[in-house]
Structure 1
Amino acid sequence: MKEINLASVVSVKRKEKKITQDGLANYLGVSKAAISKWETAQSYPDITMLPHIATYFDITIDELIGYEPQMESTEIKKLYHKLSHQFAKEPFDIVHERCNVIIKKYYSCFPLLLQIGILLLNHSMLAGSTEKTQKVIEQDKQLFERVKSETDDVHVAKQALYLEAYCCLMQNNPAEVLVLLEGTDTLSMSNRGLFAQAFYMMGNIPKAKEKIQMQIYENIVEMFGAFPMLFTLNTDDPVKLDECVERALALEKIFAVKRFHPAIVITMLLSAAGTYATINNKEKTLELLEEYAKVSASGIFPFKLHGDEFFDMVDGALANLDLGTEMVRSEETVKQSMLQGVTLTPVFQQYSNDVRFKSVVKMLESI
């Protein structure tokens, strides 16, 4: 919690009402000297007087003392996953209203506001209609803009900026994205690499290994996140598209990505299948959908971020992520999305009567 700020609140509110210290003192039955000491933080009013002062200024006691509730990172993590599970089991509007109450209560807890915004983005498709989804996205955009503008945490501000830009994309406003991101498109060295070099020079090999492993792990995740757009950009060149998909699949095989992060693999496979479907390559589409279903049904639940035999020193760093190692959406919501990613995607409907396609759907339904 931030320090009590009653002094400035009393001073500002008194001046807003155009009341002198004498006038306020007479109303409260105290001396002018007492008011002066309150406003200069030399002393505080008796606790029993707080309701009277708050009533006089027509504010809450929390507002009077400048109380801005905060939430620790562990509490934010627990709350996020609790609400995520509620979105899977309860009507969207009910859980959304709970989020709004939390936003209002913790309006100055910027790390929490950031995660609540991410939570709403990750579940906005459950809103019930395109119009309602867009309203949630607009709310998120405003929330991220506030966090970006008000927080003192550079890391949180940077995340908020990128998420605000993402909201603009979802609102079909690419021009605003470019304005928001102007000046940020520069190459930068990962600080994990610097940490690794420093620990190595100090002779702390285990820590150096941990940092460099985590850098490679993050780079792989980032690359897989970029593949869907790469595929889309090469729909006009089937040969180049084949090469892009083949390299993505080869990278997965080299690092056995599906063993430690199957979520990014199935996202890549579904995207590749969708891209081939847009150019009417039925064989490649069904081949990739079959692999998508196979990985999805390979016992990946309950899914948590983790390392493997190669990335054997990253689990500690993963546990310290803002939302920990659990999925950002509940297991039920993810399974539903995995199925709907095939059955509700228009470009796949041309294959809906194909035996192989039906087999894919059946496998996904059984998860």
Structure 2
Amino acid sequence: MDKLQIGEVILKLRKKREITQEQLGKFIGVSTAAVSKWEVGNSYPDITLLPVLASFFNISIDELLNYKIELSEKEVMEIFRECEAMFAGENIEKGIDTAKKYIEKYNSSYYLKLRIGFLFNMYSWRSGSEKKAEKMINYASKLFEDIEKNCGNSEITEQALYLLSGIYLSKDEDDRSVEVLNKIHKSEYNIDFMLANIYIKKGDIKKGRKMLQMQLWKNIFEMSSVLMCLAKSYLKDKKDLDIIEKYCNLSIQVKKLLSPEADSLLGFHIEYMGFAQIYLKLGEKEKALDMLKRWINYIEVNNINDPKDFESVWCFNELSSNKSSFTLNMYENMRKILEEDIFDSMRENEYFKIILDKVKDMERKTVK
């Protein structure tokens, strides 16, 4: 019997019953201090007390010893934030070790596996080497695959499948990516849109309007992403610069509909960088550099670590701006992008050097 585990089981069951350590101690005939020691792992109950404990919690001894500790969503997010701070900080190895220990400790929590898997996949680029990055991605993949096979929660499972498809795609395992995506339930109906209209009809206008504003927000980003993907599709065969530019410009214009009020929220740097990389693949260095100028101008003016609140934008005034779960300095991420191989042809360009220096300076100055 793992004394730490049995202590946590007792703590969890006691809180579920909403009783104090003193009340539990009185029932089974031990002191409050004894119960406290069990729960923090300094000691564990005598074997003769197990039947009494099992009886009190209305479970079998076997269930008591094999009780699967379920974490609440709040507890999972506390663990997630603790690990994420280490992944984003200077000691990613400590973060990896800590996260794996939590997975071992709470092996039945599939929501925790989803969040930790997300961290391993998202921060693999900070690992320091391609080999380490591959290990992190493989670990994330195993967590998501475990969720797919064993989790009974469809929402968690489908999120895991979506993330898993991205991993397979990055490994050029296209067929596997398609296979897992096809396991996700795809509804043809916009339920939230219908619900929003019902709430407004009933007089709950604020709730309905909030749902519609969230739909607007998602649709703007989805439309912009679709247009960029269409542009990139023409790199695969025709390499038609005119059509590619039309799609790329349209992806920017979609967001510009809400400019300038929502500039900080809209993340134009995503499109500018995507556009620049497309130009480089087409050998259009001057056009790529022009797009990078627009990119650096945007991130100089708009704090991508701490974007503007939703409430300050007229068309999203019902949406609340929740504090980000991430502590990563986004300017570090921007600098890493500029260090990728695709920009090798521009390394000696003086303005490109200026752009890279500016990003490095923002990275040093920005403390998230």
Report the counterpart of residue 331 of structure 1 in structure 2: 328
CA offset at residue 270 of structure 1?
1.0
- 2:89/2:328 contact within 8 Å kept: no
Give the 5 Å matches for 1:192-207: 192-207=192-207
CA offset at residue 154 of structure 1?
1.7
Taking a change above 3 Å as real, the CA distance of residues 52 and 74 of structure 1, as seen in their structure-2 partners, is closer
Task: Give yes or no for the alignment of 1:78 onto 2:73.
Answer: no
Alpha-carbon distance in 2 for matches of 1:306, 1:98: 33
Alpha-carbon distance in 1 for matches of 2:231, 2:48: 63
The one of the two structures with greater contact order (alpha-carbon pairs below 8 A, sep at least 6) is 1
Taking a change above 3 Å as real, the CA distance of residues 87 and 246 of structure 1, as seen in their structure-2 partners, is same
Report the counterpart of residue 274 of structure 2 in structure 1: 271
Give the 5 Å matches for 1:175-214: 175-182=175-182, 184=184, 186=186, 188-214=188-214
Query: Which TM-score applies when normalising by structure 2?
Result: 0.75
What number of residue pairs does the alignment pair up? Answer: 308
Task: Give yes or no for the alignment of 1:239 onto 2:235.
Answer: no
* Paired amino acid for 1:251: V
Taking a change above 3 Å as real, the CA distance of residues 246 and 140 of structure 1, as seen in their structure-2 partners, is same
CA offset at residue 208 of structure 1?
1.3
1:358 pairs, out of 353, 361, 367, with: 353
> What is the percentage of aligned positions where both structures have the same residue?
20
**SS of the residue aligned with 2:107?**
coil
CA offset at residue 188 of structure 1?
2.6
Alpha-carbon distance in 1 for matches of 2:139, 2:245: 40
Taking a change above 3 Å as real, the CA distance of residues 72 and 281 of structure 1, as seen in their structure-2 partners, is same
Give the 5 Å matches for 1:129-208: 129-182=129-182, 184=184, 186=186, 188-208=188-208
* Paired amino acid for 2:331: K
- CA offsets, 1:137-167, max 9 Å, x none? 1111111121223223221111011111112
Taking a change above 3 Å as real, the CA distance of residues 266 and 52 of structure 1, as seen in their structure-2 partners, is same
Task: Give yes or no for the alignment of 1:298 onto 2:293.
Answer: no
**SS of the residue aligned with 1:166?**
helix
Report the counterpart of residue 17 of structure 1 in structure 2: none
- 1:192/1:214 contact within 8 Å kept: no
- 2:121/2:136 contact within 8 Å kept: yes
- Which segment drifts farther, 299-308 or 209-218? 299-308
Alpha-carbon distance in 1 for matches of 2:113, 2:224: 28
Taking a change above 3 Å as real, the CA distance of residues 306 and 192 of structure 1, as seen in their structure-2 partners, is farther
CA offset at residue 229 of structure 1?
2.9
Alpha-carbon distance in 2 for matches of 1:180, 1:89: 33
- How well do the aligned residues superpose, as a CA RMSD in angstroms? 2.9
Taking a change above 3 Å as real, the CA distance of residues 62 and 282 of structure 1, as seen in their structure-2 partners, is farther
Taking a change above 3 Å as real, the CA distance of residues 62 and 92 of structure 1, as seen in their structure-2 partners, is farther
- CA offsets, 1:249-282, max 9 Å, x none? 11121123532242xx322221111011110112
Query: Which TM-score applies when normalising by structure 1?
Result: 0.75
Unaligned regions of 5+ residues in structure 2, if any? Answer: 1-7, 12-44, 52-60, 363-368
